[in-house]
Structure 1
Amino acid sequence: MRYKEYLKDQLPAIITHVLSMLFCVVFLSAVDVQANIILILLLIWFLIAASYIHIRFFFRKRYFAELLLQLERLDKKYLICEVMEHPILTEDKIYHMLLKAANKSMMEQVSESKRERKEYKEYIEQWIHDVKTPISAMKLLCENNKSDTTRKLMAELEKVSHYTDQALYYARSENVEKDYFIKEVSLSEMIHAAVAENKQLLLQNHISVEVNNCDNTVYTDEKWIGFILNQIIANAVKYSGKEPKIGFEVNSKQGQVVLIIYDNGVGISEPDLPRIFEKGFTGQNGRTGKSSTGIGLFLCKRLCEKLGIGIAVKSESGQGTQVELFFPKGDFVRVQE
């Protein structure tokens, strides 16, 4: 609160005092009161009024400064009316009552929104689990009746499976801590499992796979990392170039195990690169006929942050893309030298 702004708010009271003083001067002059007595009276009046306005400014400023300090310290700002001291002035009591009523209404709306969101999330998760059954059944039918048509159908079913997994993991990504199990896993085994899961997709697009020096083990959640690898592989397939290939290798640097996934696809343009982890961002490649949603890398980034894993992407347009996953290395992580 600034003194100039405070005086502006007190302008009606100041004008009232000035008019009252003028009326007093006129009245006292009319009854033949000496001028020096009127002057002393006006001076005392002015000092009392000015002192009151100034002292009130000091207390109001301190009161609001304490409120702002309490607000700054709160993680949940909307709880300010619950922690602030009960006001003394009637005007402040009315504002406090209005604030509590607004806060109560807001809390009720938030609770209702959370309940509806939870119900919708549970429905989506249940629907995804239900739809996976016919997808698995169709895959089994295709495996038992192999032909060019069923192989193509298998590749499309893998895409459908990826999209359903994407929806499921998106629904669960806010609460990863409720659905993860950290254990020692082999990067080589996770890579081969991801490649096997995308087998038909890779075969249909004639993509070769290279796995080099990936015998390291790390501590992480195998299921969530598997989803991240699937997303990266799906992107590499979607944006593949001539004589396409995907490679995997592991390096150890700066106290971390780094899993590198690279391809020789169309790459990412320099202006798009800083924004690839933004939700819904498809970039130049996504606007050239590719069925991009802008969700895959956003989910990868979010899951990596939840799992304490770093992720970085290096790419040049027309020169392929390289994705790096950084696993923390400590006494509990064994690295094959």
Structure 2
Amino acid sequence: MSGKQYLKNQLPVILINLLGMLVLALFLIASDNPIQTVLFIFAVWSIVLVLSLLAFYFSRKKYLNKLLNMTEQLEERYLLPEIMQVPERADEQVFYQIMKMAEKSMLERIGEVQRERREYKEYIEQWIHEVKTPITAMKLLCENNRSPFSREVLAELENINQYTEQALYYARSEHAEKDYSVREVNLCDVVHSAIADNKYLLRQSNMSIQIDDIETKVYTDEKWVRFILNQIIGNAIKYHAEQPILHFRATKTNDKIVLSISDNGIGIPKSDLPRIFEKGFTGQNGRTGKNSTGIGLYLCKRLCDKLGIGLTAYSENRGTTISLIFQMNDFIIGVQG
């Protein structure tokens, strides 16, 4: 609250006091009182008025600043009426009641939105689980009737399965901590499982797989890391070049293990690199007919943050390297040592 605005608000009070002082001065002069007496009363009245205005200004400013600080510290600022004291002034009590009604309305609306989101999430999860049944049946039919056509169908089924998995993990990513189970995982097993999930797409694109010695164990959730690897492999297939190669390697330092997935594809433009983990960002490559949604890498980043895994991307001219960085605390290092 500024002093200028406060004086502007108190202008009626100041004018009434000045009018009262003028009337009293005229009455005293008309009653043959000495001019010194009139001036003295005028001065005392003015001092009392100024002091009262100043005292009220500082007390109100302190109270309002306290409210502002309380509001800034709140994450849900509509809950301010729950922590503020009930005001004593009648006009402030009216505004307090208005804030309480607004808070109640907001809580009811939030509850309704949360209920709708929960129901929608449950529906998506149920739909995905149901649609996986015909996908699995079609895979079995194709695998039991091998032909060039069935191999093409199997590759497209892997694409469909990836999109359904993406939708499922997106629905669950908000509360990922309720779904994952952290335990000791062999990176080699996870990498081979992810490759198996994409075997027909990899074969269709003639992708060569190179795997260095990755017999390394980390503590994480195997299912979520497998999904992250599927997204990375899917991007490598989508943006592959001639004679594509996908290279997996793991390096170990004192307190971390880095799993790097490198390809020799078209790469990522330098201007796009800082934004590839943003939701919905497709970049220059995604606008060239690749049907990119900008969700895959965003989900990878979101899930890595939930699991405490570092995620980085490097690309220069050709090829891209995505690295998963698994942190090792002192206790795990001691056990493995």
TM-score class, shorter-chain normalisation, is: over 0.9
Partners of 1:238 and 1:142 in 2: how far apart? 23
Q: CA deviation at 1:32?
A: 3.9
Partners of 2:114 and 2:59 in 1: how far apart? 41
Q: CA deviation at 1:212?
A: 0.4
Per-residue CA shift, 1:240-295, capped at 9, x if unaligned?
A: 11111111000013510000000000000011000001000000000011110000
Partners of 1:136 and 1:290 in 2: how far apart? 26
Q: Which amino acid aligns with 1:20?
A: G
- Uncovered stretches (5+) of structure 2, i.e. residues with no partner: none
Partners of 1:279 and 1:23 in 2: how far apart? 71
Tell me: CA distance 1:106–1:93, structure 2 relative to 1, closer, same or farther (3 Å).
same
> How many residues end up aligned between the 2 structures?
336
**Identity across the alignment (%):** 51
What RMSD, in angstroms, separates the aligned Cα atoms of the two structures?
1.7
SS in structure 2 of the partner of residue 320 of structure 1: strand
Of 86-95 and 123-132, the range deviating more from structure 2: 86-95
Partners of 1:77 and 1:164 in 2: how far apart? 37
Q: Which amino acid aligns with 1:291?
A: N
Partners of 2:336 and 2:147 in 1: how far apart? 42
Q: CA deviation at 1:13?
A: 1.7
Partners of 1:68 and 1:254 in 2: how far apart? 47
Query: Counterpart in 2 of 1:229?
Result: 229
How do residues 54-203 of structure 1 correspond to structure 2 at under 5 angstroms? 54-203=54-203
Give yes or no for the alignment of 1:326 onto 2:313. no
Q: CA deviation at 1:181?
A: 0.9
Partners of 1:334 and 1:208 in 2: how far apart? 37
Q: CA deviation at 1:30?
A: 4.1
Q: CA deviation at 1:48?
A: 1.5
- Uncovered stretches (5+) of structure 1, i.e. residues with no partner: none
Query: Counterpart in 1 of 2:211?
Result: 211
Q: Which amino acid aligns with 2:121?
A: K
Asked if structure 2 preserves the Cα contact closer than 8 Å seen for 1:309 and 1:326, the reply is yes
TM-score (norm 2): 0.95
Per-residue CA shift, 1:143-188, capped at 9, x if unaligned?
A: 0011111101111110000000000000000101110111111100
Q: Which amino acid aligns with 2:197?
A: E
Per-residue CA shift, 1:181-207, capped at 9, x if unaligned?
A: 111111001000000110000001111
Partners of 1:333 and 1:111 in 2: how far apart? 45
Asked if structure 2 preserves the Cα contact closer than 8 Å seen for 1:181 and 1:221, the reply is yes
Of 72-81 and 301-310, the range deviating more from structure 2: 72-81
Q: CA deviation at 1:27?
A: 4.0
Partners of 2:232 and 2:97 in 1: how far apart? 54
Query: Counterpart in 2 of 1:36?
Result: 36
Asked if structure 2 preserves the Cα contact closer than 8 Å seen for 1:194 and 1:229, the reply is yes
Of 238-247 and 88-97, the range deviating more from structure 2: 88-97
TM-score (norm 1): 0.95
Q: Which amino acid aligns with 1:79?
A: L
Q: CA deviation at 1:52?
A: 1.0
Partners of 1:199 and 1:81 in 2: how far apart? 59
Asked if structure 2 preserves the Cα contact closer than 8 Å seen for 1:217 and 1:335, the reply is no
